[in-house]
């Protein structure tokens, strides 16, 4: 593990908070932009790593993706860039390129999502960087991998949602395919990249050497499609759109109450028996058409109206209380504000303030909780080149590098 760079390590001198958390002491060079990469590096930063966000002079594209905005800054950008420090470097400028190479040479982790091979012309590819920094964990995120068939394809989440088959599963059976409401595979790829980085760092404890970690959106998509991709790979079945219905479970979908729909899920026979007891039709649990999950799934068109008839006698929230009390999972269909409020109601404290005073930015809490450590929320998402002066000064001074006199073998 590299020593943390001096300007990040001296709170008294700089007025900046020092790193804390399970990844404290790791230096991450973040050459990524948009979503998958920045989401991964934000998670690492939340857990204590010091992340230097390297941006082009024009900045990360998401800075201008609006509306909505907060204080003139895109909330898209704000959502995935907390706890980082920004430096703007023009890789076509020799002075800036030298600083970028110096940062890569000192980093524990470098993460990038350029088109495969795109950083080679700058001498910032894994093969080049690892010569001078053999301990580096170098993570690359692409759309379709670095092979000859995929390396030149542009990698956008929406394209992968289409190509992977996700859109063929989303929407009503008789309607057109739909995209998911978020860039779901960008997020999955960011999570997979984070897992890969942590695994490679653990391996470095034994070998002393880093490695190249590669993640691509299509592979993340096929993995993330779980039962649906397995249906084809293991069963030869091509799944199709079923609206809100589940191919293997019933009930497991929205069902109408007197005022609105309620998600009702009975994942096993015991839960189904409890459900129909609460609904006042316990005899359905012993009906041979509905006794087992496979029976309920095969006969869903007969069972659904029987459940709907009972649910229609009360409101969704009235049924929610009683069904939950019986040990059967269910839930209302909320908008995002309702989802945040529900998380608050159950004690998850989903919103945190990042930074202090008037500069603090509301953000969604890191979902990981530790018994001994905690995520940090020190720095609001940085302005473009906000920390450029300090970072440039540190990188320009090799004398300040705590590893400058360390031999390659010691590294």
Give the mean pLDDT of 130-153: 97
| 386-400 core/surface letters (b: 16 or more CB in 10 A; e: else) | bbbebbbebbeeeee
User: What single DSSP character describes residue 351?
Assistant: E
401 is catalytic: no
pLDDT of residue 18: 56
Please classify residue 122 by burial: count the beta carbons closer than 10 Å to its beta carbon, then call 0-12 exposed, 13-18 middle and 19+ buried: middle
- Tell me the C-alpha distance between 298 and 291, whole Å: 11
- The tens digit of pLDDT for each residue in 313-355 reads 999 999 999 999 999 999 999 999 999 999 999 999 999 999 9
DSSP state of 153: S
The pTM for the full model equals 0.91
Report whether pLDDT(4) > 80: no
pLDDT value at residue 45: 98
- Hey, what domains does the chain have and what are their CATH numbers? 6-224+350-400 (3.40.50.10540), 252-332 (3.30.1540.10)
Report DSSP state, residue 266.
-
pLDDT-based confidence at 6, cuts 50/70/90?
Answer: low
Residue 78: pLDDT over 70: yes
Exposure b/e, 172-199, CB count within 10 A at least 16 = b: eeeeeeeeeeebbbbbbbbbbbbebbbe
Compute and round to an integer the Cα radius of gyration of the chain.
25
Residue 203 CB partners (closer than 8 Å, separation 6+): 211
| 274 contacts 325 by C-beta, under 8 angstroms | no
Catalytic one among 186, 378, 385, 401?
Answer: 186
What confidence tier does 20 reach under pLDDT thresholds 50, 70, 90? confident
Q: Strand order of the sheet with strand 212-216?
A: 84-88, 50-55, 27-31, 109-112, 137-142, 212-216
Contact indicator for 252, 266 with CB cutoff of 8 Å: yes
Question: Can you give the pLDDT at residue 399?
Answer: 42
């Amino acid at each position: 593990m590299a020593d943390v760079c001096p300007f990040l390590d001296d709170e008294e001198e700089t007025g900046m908070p020092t790193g804390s958390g399970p990844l404290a002491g790791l230096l991450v060079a973040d050459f990524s932009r948009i979503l998958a990469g920045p989401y991964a590096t934000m998670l690492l930063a939340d857990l204590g790593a010091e992340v230097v966000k390297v941006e082009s002079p024009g900045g990360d594209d998401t800075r201008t993706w609006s509306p909505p905005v907060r204080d003139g800054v895109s909330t898209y950008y704000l959502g995935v860039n907390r706890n980082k420090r920004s430096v703007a470097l023009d890789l076509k400028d020799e002075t800036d390129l030298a600083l970028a190479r110096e940062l890569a040479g000192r980093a524990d982790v470098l993460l990038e999502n350029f088109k495969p091979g795109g950083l080679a012309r700058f001498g910032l590819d894994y093969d080049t960087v690892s010569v001078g920094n053999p301990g580096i964990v170098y993570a690359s995120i692409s759309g379709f991998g670095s092979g000859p068939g995929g390396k030149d394809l542009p990698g956008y989440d929406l394209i992968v949602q289409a190509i992977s088959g996700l859109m063929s599963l989303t929407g009503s059976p008789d309607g057109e395919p739909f995209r998911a409401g978020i860039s779901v595979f960008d997020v999955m790829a960011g999570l997979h990249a984070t897992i890969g980085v942590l695994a490679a760092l653990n391996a470095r404890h034994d070998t002393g050497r880093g490695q190249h970690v590669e993640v691509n959106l299509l592979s993340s998509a096929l993995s993330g499609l779980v039962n649906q991709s397995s249906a084809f790979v293991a069963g030869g079945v091509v799944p199709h759109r079923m609206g809100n219905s589940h191919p293997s479970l019933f009930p497991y979908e929205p069902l109408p109450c007197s005022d609105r729909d309620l998600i009702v899920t009975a994942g096993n026979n015991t839960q189904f028996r409890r459900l129909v007891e609460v609904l006042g039709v316990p005899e359905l649990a012993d009906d041979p058409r509905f006794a087992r999950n496979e029976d309920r799934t095969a006969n869903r068109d007969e069972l659904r109206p029987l459940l709907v008839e009972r649910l229609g006698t009360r409101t969704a929230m009235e049924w929610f209380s009683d069904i939950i009390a019986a040990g059967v999972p269910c839930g209302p269909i909320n908008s995002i504000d309702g989802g945040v409020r529900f998380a608050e109601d159950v004690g998850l404290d989903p919103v945190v303030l990042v930074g202090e005073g008037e500069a603090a930015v509301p953000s969604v809490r890191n979902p990981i909780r530790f018994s001994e450590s905690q995520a940090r929320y020190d720095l609001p998402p940085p302005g473009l080149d906000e920390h450029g002066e300090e970072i440039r000064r540190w990188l320009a001074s090799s004398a300040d590098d705590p590893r400058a006199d360390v031999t390659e073998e010691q590294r």
